A and B are shown apart, each in its own frame.
Chain A
Amino acid sequence: MSATLLRRTVMVLGLPIALIIIWWFTSANSTDFYQPPLSRILEVFPETWLNDRLLRDVPASLGRLAVGYTLALIVGVAVGVVVGSSRFLRRLLEPVLEFLRAIPPPVLVPVFILVAGIDNAMKVLVIISGCVWPVLLNTVEGVRGADEVLGDTCRSYRIGGVLRLRSFVLRAASPQIITGARQALSIGIILMVISEMKAASQGIGFIIIEFQRGFQIPEMWSGVLVLGLIGVLLSLLFRAVERRVLVWYYGVRAAERGTR
């Protein structure tokens, strides 16, 4: 391994490993029922998760997250582009949007149960209701802030319609949209769990709550670990996509910094 690769790996993994070691040793002799030793949690981990739960519940939850998140992206970007392009619409809708985005989605879960039942549709709705706002509002900002010289360039070369949308509006707003998408991902993971806590029959959140109700505390904690791991993996995946899409943006910023 080259020296820089080694150094980078140590930087990335150093703190998490240190924290785990601290956790291990501070909880080793714990007799608290609700905070078992880390060794116990890791002991029950394989039998709890490395069975058909992995094949049934985890994909079910992640599938709902994927559907909800994707729909939130599509709706958020579409509405965001329309609102961001029109000063009239922005002024008309801004108060209403601020009001709606301030309502915590967990509060709306009972409403969604009444409207959409207790099945997958309700859970996906809960995820969308939280994820759409950062995407929408960031898209509006991104579209609004597109450089007007580029806008004039498009007008004078008669670049319009879909080509203008694809090559100008969406690309110009993409840094902001990606920021919104990142926030929406964190919110989505939380809502994925919350939507399964009230009325569900499978899913990661459902399992964790079941363990809690059955006082199977180490198993419950193992579920928390699983969620954390899922969050880290999704975040890494997101960053990989972001790096490809925003190559140009990092380049522009680096060039600006270089000349300052």
Chain B
Amino acid sequence: MLEIRSLRKVYDGHGRQVEALADITFDVAAGQFVCVVGPSGCGKTTLLRCLGGLLRPTSGDIRVGGRPVSGPPSELAIVFQEYGRSLFPWLKVHENVELPLKAKGLPSAERSRLVGQALEAVGLAEARTAWPWQLSGGMQQRVAIARALAYQPRVMLMDEPFAAVDAQTRADLEDLVRSVWRQFGVTLLFVTHDIDEAVYLGERVIVLSSSPTVVVEDLAIDLPAERDQLNTRSDPRFVELRAHVYSRIQQAKRRAPAQATAPRNS
């Protein structure tokens, strides 16, 4: 479903060249849940924006559903980190969820059905006539997720969606994402800086190095499909995997200064 080959992105501005992504290569099969982790500033958001068609890569090949990405693909939905700013404050919750469907050109009855279904799935059916700014942070992010679901995408990209949310709400939202993924069967690419979250949620975890960013490891998570906050997180296998990812990231961070001093073509 997602194919990324030798993705490279260099930011050019203010007299500085910043190589956000050096060489990223991996695949995601249809219906998979893949988490991407890496040290801060390693270009996770850049990767997501290139995938989502919001940013043009310097070089490399990205394909969604077999077709190369030249702009935002039509079967892809993004959930941004800043939930407060990604919802339209002048639209009520159900109107926010409905707007992309209007852009798609769906008839009104179909739109109502999809909106109702999506709000039901995230547990916000009672809040449909509320204004976004009347809701808490966690609920706002649920609205953003509902909006992505109602759009019926084949691929969902989530950019550190729970970074700005408190820990208990984050736990609820993590479980919500997993249940919604299984219910709707989307291909999910989840970017996060939280190692525990990545191991808890993903079927695979892709570990990135720090700048210049490459894929350090593509780890299969062999935890059972049924996961819950209490038992899975105390599972010895979880602890092992988590420690492994953590040590890989620490290695990647320590290697970075050496790589920075190595000679590079300008």
Contacts and interface: CB of A to CB of B under 8 A. Distances in A.
Interface of A: 147, 149-150, 152-153, 155-160, 163, 167-168, 171-172, 174, 248-249, 251-252, 255
B77 to A, nearest CB: 7
Nearest to A168: B88
Contacts of B72: 155-158
Contacts of B88: 150, 167-168, 171
Give the size range of B's interface with the partner: 20 to 34
13 contacts: A147-B85, A149-B86, A155-B53, A155-B54, A155-B71, A156-B53, A157-B72, A168-B88, A171-B88, A248-B89, A248-B90, A248-B131, A255-B134
B102 interface: yes
A251 B77 contact: no
Given A158-B103, A159-B100, A153 B90 contact: no
A152 B80 contact: yes
Contact of A153 (B53, B71, B86, B104): B86
Contacts of A160: 103
Given A168-B88, A171-B90, A252-B133, A156 B78 contact: yes
Given A158-B104, A248-B90, 17 more contacts: A149-B82, A150-B85, A152-B54, A152-B80, A152-B86, A153-B80, A155-B72, A157-B72, A158-B103, A167-B91, A167-B99, A248-B91, A249-B90, A251-B89, A251-B134, A252-B89, A255-B133
Among A156, A174, A255, the most chain B Cβ lie within 10 Å of the Cβ of A156
A174 B71 CA distance: 29
A157 B77 contact: yes
B103 A149 contact: no
B76 interface: yes
B100 A157 contact: yes
A150 B133 contact: no
Contact of B74 (A150, A158, A172, A251): A158
A249 B133 CA distance: 10
A61 to B, nearest CB: 35
Nearest to A159: B103
A218 to B, nearest CB: 50
Given A147-B85, A168-B88, A163 B102 contact: yes
B43 interface: no
Contacts of B190: none
A253 to B, nearest CB: 9
Given A150-B85, A163-B102, A167-B91, A156 B76 contact: yes
Contacts of A163: 99, 102-103
B121 to A, nearest CB: 18
Among A157, A160, A174, the most chain B Cβ lie within 10 Å of the Cβ of A157
Contacts of A167: 88, 91, 99
A226 B168 CA distance: 63
Contacts of A149: 80, 82, 85-86
B131 A159 contact: no
A249 B72 CA distance: 30
Contacts of B90: 171-172, 174, 248-249
A255 B134 CA distance: 7
Nearest to B153: A157
Contacts of A157: 72, 77, 99-100, 103, 151
Given A156-B72, A156-B78, A251 B133 contact: yes
B52 interface: yes
A-B pairs with lowest CB-CB distance, top 6 = A157-B100, A149-B85, A248-B90, A159-B103, A255-B133, A156-B78
